[in-house]
């Protein structure tokens, strides 16, 4: 399952300033664990971006961006052909007052501001400064979106989550899954709420949406995605996807 564990033997790259740039990543390509002294806005103009830390994975399609605070160790992974836009902000520029990665809604204006500010990172003109100021204002007004897949630490919970990561279409109830995890249904239900801040059905829906975005980015047909991710019908999948991301899976596949 998508999670990073760091130890004394693991090398984590430290880049003091979060570089502002654009970068193309091929499907499945990744950027290893690293951290910056600056904050960073990460936006995928195409494809699906997954940002992973010790506590979970945040994922963002084209109408979302991910805020990564200064000092946070994180890695990136591309699903589909990723057109990555990275925007560094100095430590004293924290318009969101957030100390953990957060997914933000990206409207048309914020999208164009991110594209403009990453197009020429060396531009220090007065116009570029004004654009960045407007971008900070837009970030303050941007709604936060709960598009996260928390990672468990309890081995019993990890066992259940691992089974569903391997097969998101697994239809078994938590009671049925508990038999192979060495814990009862009530214990696992409590662990989902305490460790992950979600009920079991909520976490499974997030997991299925994560896998659905990955498959759509790889051009898997919508009907096949619904089946492989465990929805009872294509219409049920479309309804859940629309409520989560604001548009249908078909619209998402056709976006530039």
Task: Choose the final residue of a domain: 123, 148, 173.
Answer: 148
Report in angstroms the alpha-carbon separations of 175 from 153, 205, 206, 235.
20, 17, 19, 27
Kindly report the CATH number assigned to the domain that includes residue 201. Answer: 1.10.10.60
Domain residues for the domain of 43 are 13-148
Q: DSSP of 143-157, one letter per residue?
A: PEE--EEEPP-SHHH
CA distance 118 to 21: 5
Asked if residue 95 and residue 77 are part of one domain, the reply reads yes
With CA atoms as reference, report the closest residue to 27 among 62, 77, 79, 75: 79
Looking at the domain assignment, is residue 3 inside a domain? Answer: no
Looking at the domain assignment, is residue 34 inside a domain? Answer: yes
Looking at the domain assignment, is residue 7 inside a domain? Answer: no
- Tracing tokens 């060495």 back to the chain, one arrives at 182
Looking at the domain assignment, is residue 21 inside a domain? Answer: yes
Task: Choose the final residue of a domain: 92, 122, 148.
Answer: 148
| Total tally of structural domains belonging to the chain | 2
Handedness of CA 140, 142, 143, 147 (dihedral sign): negative
Task: Choose the final residue of a domain: 127, 148, 169.
Answer: 148
Report in angstroms the alpha-carbon separations of 105 from 11, 69, 127, 142, 191.
33, 17, 25, 6, 29
Asked if residue 109 and residue 166 are part of one domain, the reply reads no
Looking at the domain assignment, is residue 2 inside a domain? Answer: no
**How many CB atoms sit inside 10 A of residue 48's CB?**
25
Asked if residue 197 and residue 120 are part of one domain, the reply reads no
Asked if residue 58 and residue 138 are part of one domain, the reply reads yes
Half-sphere exposure (Cβ direction) of 244: Cα atoms closer than 13 Å: 25
Averaged over successive runs of 10 residues, the pLDDT of the chain (256 residues) comes to: 39 73 88 90 86 86 85 89 88 76 88 89 84 88 78 92 94 91 90 93 93 89 95 95 86 60
Asked if residue 162 and residue 62 are part of one domain, the reply reads no
pLDDT at 17 (0 to 100): 66
Asked if residue 140 and residue 28 are part of one domain, the reply reads yes
CA distance 226 to 255: 19
Measured in whole angstroms, the distance separating CA 104 from the mean position of its chain's CA atoms is: 10
**C-beta separation of 51 from 101 below 8 A:** yes
Looking at the domain assignment, is residue 4 inside a domain? Answer: no
Kindly report the CATH number assigned to the domain that includes residue 130. Answer: 2.60.120.810
Asked if residue 125 and residue 37 are part of one domain, the reply reads yes
Asked if residue 246 and residue 119 are part of one domain, the reply reads no
pLDDT at 232 (0 to 100): 93
Measured in whole angstroms, the distance separating CA 64 from the mean position of its chain's CA atoms is: 9
Asked if residue 127 and residue 228 are part of one domain, the reply reads no
CA distance 220 to 204: 20
Looking at the domain assignment, is residue 132 inside a domain? Answer: yes
CA distance 145 to 102: 8
What backbone torsions phi and psi does residue 88 show, to the nearest 5 degrees? -85, 140
- Tracing tokens 């995928």 back to the chain, one arrives at 44
């Amino acid at each position: 399952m998508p999670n990073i564990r760091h130890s004394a033997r693991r090398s984590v790259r430290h880049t003091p300033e979060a570089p502002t740039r654009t970068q193309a990543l091929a499907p499945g390509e990744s950027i290893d664990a690293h951290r910056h002294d600056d904050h960073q806005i990460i936006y995928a103009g195409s494809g699906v971006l997954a940002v992973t830390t010790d506590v979970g994975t945040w994922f963002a399609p084209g109408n979302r961006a991910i805020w990564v605070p200064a000092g946070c160790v994180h890695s990136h992974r591309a699903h589909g052909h990723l057109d990555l836009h990275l925007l560094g902000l100095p430590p004293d520029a924290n318009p969101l007052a957030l100390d953990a990665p957060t997914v933000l809604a990206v409207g048309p204006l914020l999208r164009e501001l991110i594209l403009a500010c990453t197009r020429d990172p060396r531009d220090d003109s007065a116009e570029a400064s004004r654009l960045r100021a407007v971008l900070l204002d837009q970030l303050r007004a941007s709604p936060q979106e709960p598009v996260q897949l928390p990672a468990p630490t309890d081995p019993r919970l990890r066992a259940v989550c691992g089974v569903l990561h391997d097969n998101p279409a697994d239809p078994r109830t938590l009671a049925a899954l508990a038999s192979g995890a060495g814990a009862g249904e009530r214990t696992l239900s409590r662990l989902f709420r305490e460790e992950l801040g979600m009920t079991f059905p909520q976490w499974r829906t997030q997991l299925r949406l994560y896998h659905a975005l990955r498959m759509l980015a790889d051009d898997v047909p919508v009907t096949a995605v619904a089946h492989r991710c465990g929805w009872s019908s294509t219409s049920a999948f479309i309804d859940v996807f629309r409520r989560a991301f604001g548009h249908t899976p078909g619209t998402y596949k056709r976006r530039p």
